[in-house]
Amino acid sequence: MAEKPADSRKNLKNRTKLVHAGRKPSEQSGFVNTPIYRGSTVLFPTLDDLLNRRMPFTYGTQGSPTTEALQTAWTELSGAKGTVIVPTGLAAIAIALLAVVKAGDHILVSDSVYRPNRNFCDTILKRMGVETTYYEPLIGAGIEALIRPNTSVIFLETPGSQTFEVQDIPAIVAVARAKGICTILDNTWATPLFFQAHAHGVDISLEAGTKYLSGHSDLLLGLVTANEVWYPALHATYDAFAMCPGPEDVFLALRGMRTLELRLNEAQRQGLAMAQWLGGRKEVLKVLHPALPSCPGHEIWKRDFLGSSGLFSILLAPCSQQALAAFLDGLELFGMGFSWGGFESLVIPFDCKTYRTATPWAPQGPALRFSIGLEDIEDLKADLAAGFERMHATP
């Protein structure tokens, strides 16, 4: 099989790109997958080569053929100038922000972002002299009123973590571009397959490869892509921190990438089916799923997104803590854990009212976030139905 450059794949579908991007069997004795390169030291053949750094990789923190394979593939898939890979999703958030901000800056961050993101802004960035203002996720072009002369970043996450508001990315990007402000997007929920961040004008896009790229709940990883304007600063910041991922994790991410579209499409099908079923239950007051017309920002999702993943939330009718515990503790197929995107189904309760600051959070009853896995949907429904019965039986 002849290997072709990335440019020759421009007109191919993503499903095909995922299979072929980042692979060079001719350089690895014909083996299909890029092997795991472990190591720190790189040897130079001559003094001149060493002094001029005349090797593809100069030290283990600069990457290896394994990391290069994933960087190359993810850059192609994202339509970016380049990619850096870091050990976790939170590390991706940190490196993206640190590539842009400086002491004295002001940044705007969506009120619905991943909670550890807020903690990073409220602790590390605050100590650096960077002020954070949290904004209403559905603000759209109205964000212009919050911009100050020293605003350097608008940080978006769409849909919002836990509460699933869909932001008007093109409207916010237009304001940011006019003001010379960098936009950063956490695109973990959709991945580049369901939302093309750079095509919509976002400067830096990131995600936790821990989730759907992995697909098997067995690694931690973060990926950050940037356009031509911001990639030099991103890469320089990455080099300064030497925040490199483990080679086994990168290898597992490459393996997960080959089946990413197949698994995402199944997650979409399973997630929608479960969301619709839960929406018909009397115990459920509201389903927060961007692909449902009842979800805030649904029309924007329909305009900008190419699909939906298997993560969504529900708001339950009021019930006691004991009843909620009876529902959750007895589930046989849904685990309780703070992640998602794997092959197994998960559920967690959450309450945003202690940390949302720009938008009030006051649901009538408990809120649950579901990650729908690859189990048979009828088995999952039966597990939840039994849980609802336990809930009713518990005062």
What are the structural domains of the chain?
A: 12-258 (3.40.640.10), 260-393 (3.90.1150.10)
Task: Read off the pLDDT of each residue in 85-101 and give the average, rounded to a whole number.
Answer: 98
The three-state DSSP-derived secondary structure of the chain is CCCCCHHHHCCCCHHHHHHHCCCCHHHCCCCCCCCCCCCCCCCCCCHHHHHCCCCCCCCHHHCCHHHHHHHHHHHHHHCCCEEEEECCHHHHHHHHHHCCCCCCCEEEEECCCCHHHHHHHHHHHHHCCCEEEEECCCCHHHHHHHCCCCEEEEEEECCCCCCCCCCCHHHHHHHHHHHCCEEEEECCCCHHHHCCCHHHCCCEEEEECCCCCCCCCCCCCEEEEECCCCHHHHHHHHHHHCCCCCHHHHHHHHHHHHCHHHHHHHHHHHHHHHHHHHHCCCCEEEEECCCCCCCCCHHHHHHHCCCCCCEEEEEECCCCHHHHHHHHHCCCCCECCCCCCCCCCEEEEECCCCCCCCCCCCCCCCEEEEECCCCCHHHHHHHHHHHHHHHHHCC
Global pTM reads 0.94
- Give CA angle at 159 (307, 16), nearest 5°: 30
Quote the CA–CA distance of 77 and 6 in Å, as a whole number. 10
Task: Read off the pLDDT of each residue in 68-73 and give the average, rounded to a whole number.
Answer: 96
> Residue 290: what residue type?
P
Task: Read off the pLDDT of each residue in 146-166 and give the average, rounded to a whole number.
Answer: 97
Task: Read off the pLDDT of each residue in 179-199 and give the average, rounded to a whole number.
Answer: 98
Give pLDDT, residue 5.
66
Whether the predicted pLDDT of 182 surpasses 90: yes
Report CA dihedral (209, 215, 220, 222) to the nearest 10 degrees. 0
Whether the predicted pLDDT of 1 surpasses 60: no
- 351 vs 5, residue with greater confidence: 351
Give pLDDT, residue 19.
81
Task: Read off the pLDDT of each residue in 170-188 and give the average, rounded to a whole number.
Answer: 98
Q: What is the tens place of the pLDDT at every residue in 311-328? A: 999 999 999 999 999 999
Q: What is the tens place of the pLDDT at every residue in 206-218? A: 999 999 999 999 9
Residue 179's closest CA among 205, 203, 206, 210? 203
Give pLDDT, residue 6.
67
Mean of pLDDT over the chain: 95
Give pLDDT, residue 25.
76
Residue 120's closest CA among 132, 104, 136? 132
Q: What is the tens place of the pLDDT at every residue in 104-153? A: 999 999 999 999 999 999 999 999 999 999 999 999 999 999 999 999 99
Q: What is the tens place of the pLDDT at every residue in 258-307? A: 999 999 999 999 999 999 999 999 999 999 999 999 898 999 999 999 99
Lowest mean pLDDT segment, chosen from 27-31, 185-189, 241-245, 294-298: 27-31
Q: What is the tens place of the pLDDT at every residue in 97-117? A: 999 999 999 999 999 999 999
Task: Read off the pLDDT of each residue in 336-350 and give the average, rounded to a whole number.
Answer: 96
In the structure, what pLDDT confidence band is assigned to residue 80 with cuts at 50, 70 and 90? Answer: very high
Give pLDDT, residue 143.
98
Task: Read off the pLDDT of each residue in 359-367 and give the average, rounded to a whole number.
Answer: 92
